[in-house]
Structure 1
Amino acid sequence: MGNPRRIHDQHQGRHGLAKMTGRLLLMGLLVVQLARPIQSIEWTLPDVIDSIGSVSTSIIDPSLLPTPQGLLDGSKQLIAGYPFEYVSSTLNFICSQALSSHKIKSKFTPDINKMNFQLQGACTKTNFALTDAESMWKSPEFNPKKKVVILATGWTTTVNGSDTIDVLSKAYNCRGDVNFVAVDAARFVDTLYTWSAFNTEEIGENIAHGLVHLLDLVPVENIHLIGHSLGAHIVGSAGRHLQRLTGKTIPRITGLDPAKPCFNEGEILSGLLRGDAAFIDVIHSNPGVLGKKDPLGDADFYPGGIHPLPEGCYSVVCAHARAWQYYAESVFPGNEHNFMATRCNSMQRLRDLRCPGNEHPMGYAAPTTIRGNYFLEVSGTSPYGKHANIVRTMSHEHCGVCPNGPDSTTTPTSTPSQS
């Protein structure tokens, strides 16, 4: 029988070595990031290394892999004041290594029987189980002659009390030419981020199964999927799985600041990909922090450039929300050309008038034939589009709103099918 003290010392030694090696890896990662010229920033690198040393241990010794809560706690220990992008990149690296170990599983496995489509009119919100999606397509509130817009939102956002859904619903109901549907993924995206990220692929597959019935009533050409944050990756998954199930391709997917952390790192969570639809347009409003910076679609728009905080925002939460706010503004009638963008390599080149070519609208009216990266100026307050008209904006205040008061939400009494 071994000496208990010696065994303890050996374990402590391995743990210490792993922790030290992990710190060195992270130091190297941060040094590479910090090698870029940054103005007016003072660095105390050891503070950062110490603050995430316990998390980095997991990269070296898989047996010490942190739980999702550990990852979250580790991120909270980061010293305030460090540039968002560098902190985000480091945490993204740690998260990706943890995910690649296959030792972290989602706490809540998506259950299609607990997910709903919510058909939203100006005065009504009606829930339909994904397993009974055919009932929605046959509902008197659903008009098969109109196009269908389906929105999936992000982390900790559900159909109840979501500004994202409420504003986009109002905008589309103001137009009056589409069936606006929100995806209620219940608690499967209303939990710790890492678990929510794990669920995007399965939620997308469940949505695709619901869409199969839609194709019996509405041609695939009339379907548009929109997703904000994690929701962008959910609709990307839905597009891929619909192709697999039916051989048909969604004509357009719009990604609104697709979530960055944990996606496309080590190919564990692929997220929204070019090819998930015939045309993918992406609006990046918090690039490199909560949102992806790299181009993901056929046309990628960078309002205000690649700076993580657009004009008028002083937090990453504000910046992350700007994408859906820009898009919603463009949906209201008359606002289709509020955001005119030019294909370019950078915001500076655009400002120097070194980007030849025609302007194209970002948002609702984005042409499905354009390709490349597009830059544009935006305002810091609503209306955000540089081509906006304040009088027209004020006229939209009550458009798309129920004249009889607050919306009512109902759930059909039909029993969902279990197919």
Structure 2
Amino acid sequence: MFHNILTILVITSCGGRAFAGLLDLFNVNTDYNAAFVMDSIFDVMSNDTKYLLSGDSTNPIETDVTFLCGNRNAPNLTQTVINDAGLSSKLVTSKPIVFITHGWLDNGNKIWIRSMAADYLKFVDTNVCIVNWSNLCLYGYALAANHTFRVGAYLSSFITYLNRQGIPLNKVTLVGHSLGAHISGHAGRYLGGKIAAIYGLDPAGPLFTLPFDVGPAKRLDSSDAQYVQMIITSRCTTGVCVGDGHENFYPTGGFVPQPNCVLPLFGNSETFEPLTCSHAHACTLFRMALNPQNVFSGKKCSSYSLYLLELCLFNKSTKMGIYTSRVGGDFYLITSMFEPYT
């Protein structure tokens, strides 16, 4: 019965009453209930959670978390380890480096993450590493969320190793989706907030934000890097309600459904379901924005309603993504239904 109710809520989330009902489900009083909602929603979408792991991993962390790295001269990303004897064939230590981290139930071989890595190499002369923590994210949501601390700690160890090889911390950028955003935040915190930038792509909300606020020490926030940007596309559902970055972008208010997810069968959507489509759309928008020709200009404003009323017309604007002018604040913008969504 619970699954049937969730199915109705999720599929009809573009309606006001259904969206409010979904928010009510996430505004629960305990961490357990939030994790249960996440697991149940996934069960609705997949009809099979039998493969989800239970208990905890006994593998060494270097088995459960791997780094696939390369650059323009070595675009076929290959596994790279701490004290890697072949490091010089995989990374150019005189250039910056970007780490891309996936979220819950995902992995480093998915098309979206490979496409993002390829676009980074196309538009930015940098090293790129994919953080693959799939062995630790194929658990129930609560366990996977708890694993983010271990993954973040190991990522910080790998970055420390690369720092000793000549890559300064101020040349390190982290990009993370969902739980991967918080992994990036953990790593940045372990490194004293000294890395250059973190881009949180719809950071996961359940277990990290209200109504049970875990505090900035346990989630991505502006103290984790010299510059933190958040792109929020499933506000108060699978994503956080409010951004904690130096700059926070809310495409179409940050709400579900994003424009290309209203009619997923007819648009260029990430999935056929509005909630997960909207959650994933932050990754697509960020990847589109890597191309300097795709300009997503956000207007600084205190709320989406004021933005829609055009009461922020004379406020500052900046570009969403890596080409931001870093003026700071909350920014709203409207995106379109079709690629490149500008």
TM-score category of the 2 structures, normalised to the smaller one: 0.7 to 0.9
1:41 corresponds to: none
2:206 corresponds to: 261
Give the 5 Å matches for 1:261-410: 261-264=206-209, 265-267=212-214, 270-314=218-262, 315-335=274-294, 338-355=295-312, 356-368=314-326, 370-385=327-342
Distance 1:175 1:278, change over 3 A: same
State the secondary structure of the residue aligned to 1:181.
strand
Q: CA deviation digits over 1:303-331, x for unaligned, max 9?
A: 11143211121311110111010000011
Q: Which moves more between the two structures, 162-171 or 84-93?
A: 84-93
Larger Cα-atom Rg: 1
Report deviation, 1:173: 1.6
1:227 corresponds to: 176
Say whether the 8 Å CA contact 1:308–1:316 is kept in structure 2.
yes
Q: Distance in 2 between matches of 1:159 and 1:79?
A: 29
Query: What RMSD, in angstroms, separates the aligned Cα atoms of the two structures?
Result: 2.5
Match of 2:101 among 152, 159, 164: 152
Distance 1:78 1:109, change over 3 A: farther
2:163 corresponds to: 215
Distance 1:201 1:84, change over 3 A: farther
Structure 2 counterpart of 1:208, which letter? S
Q: Distance in 2 between matches of 1:299 and 1:179?
A: 24
2:31 corresponds to: 96
Q: CA deviation digits over 1:112-171, x for unaligned, max 9?
A: 221211014564121023xx25546x32231112210001111111112x1221121121
Give TM-score, length-normalised by structure 1: 0.65
Match of 1:190 among 138, 149, 169: 138
Give TM-score, length-normalised by structure 2: 0.79
1:242 corresponds to: 191
Q: Distance in 1 between matches of 2:159 and 2:142?
A: 27
Say whether the 8 Å CA contact 1:230–1:258 is kept in structure 2.
yes
Say whether the 8 Å CA contact 1:88–1:290 is kept in structure 2.
no
Distance 1:238 1:96, change over 3 A: same
Number of aligned pairs? Answer: 297
State the secondary structure of the residue aligned to 1:312.
helix
Say whether the 8 Å CA contact 1:148–1:224 is kept in structure 2.
yes
State the secondary structure of the residue aligned to 2:337.
coil
Distance 1:366 1:106, change over 3 A: farther
Give the 5 Å matches for 1:12-161: 76=3, 78-82=5-9, 83-84=18-19, 86-91=21-26, 93=28, 95-96=30-31, 107-108=56-57, 111-114=60-63, 115-121=65-71, 123-129=75-81, 132=82, 134-135=84-85, 138-160=87-109
State the secondary structure of the residue aligned to 1:213.
helix
Percentage of matched positions with identical amino acids: 25
1:175 corresponds to: 123
Structure 2 counterpart of 1:261, which letter? P
Q: Distance in 2 between matches of 1:232 and 1:79?
A: 26
Q: Distance in 1 between matches of 2:135 and 2:189?
A: 23
Q: What are the ranges of 5 or more consecutive residues in structure 1 without an aligned counterpart?
A: 1-50, 52-74, 386-419
State the secondary structure of the residue aligned to 1:215.
helix
Q: Distance in 2 between matches of 1:144 and 1:364?
A: 21
Structure 2 counterpart of 1:128, which letter? T
Structure 2 counterpart of 1:364, which letter? I
State the secondary structure of the residue aligned to 1:139.
helix
Distance 1:92 1:191, change over 3 A: farther
Report deviation, 1:223: 0.6
Q: Distance in 1 between matches of 2:255 and 2:88?
A: 45
Q: Distance in 2 between matches of 1:374 and 1:156?
A: 30
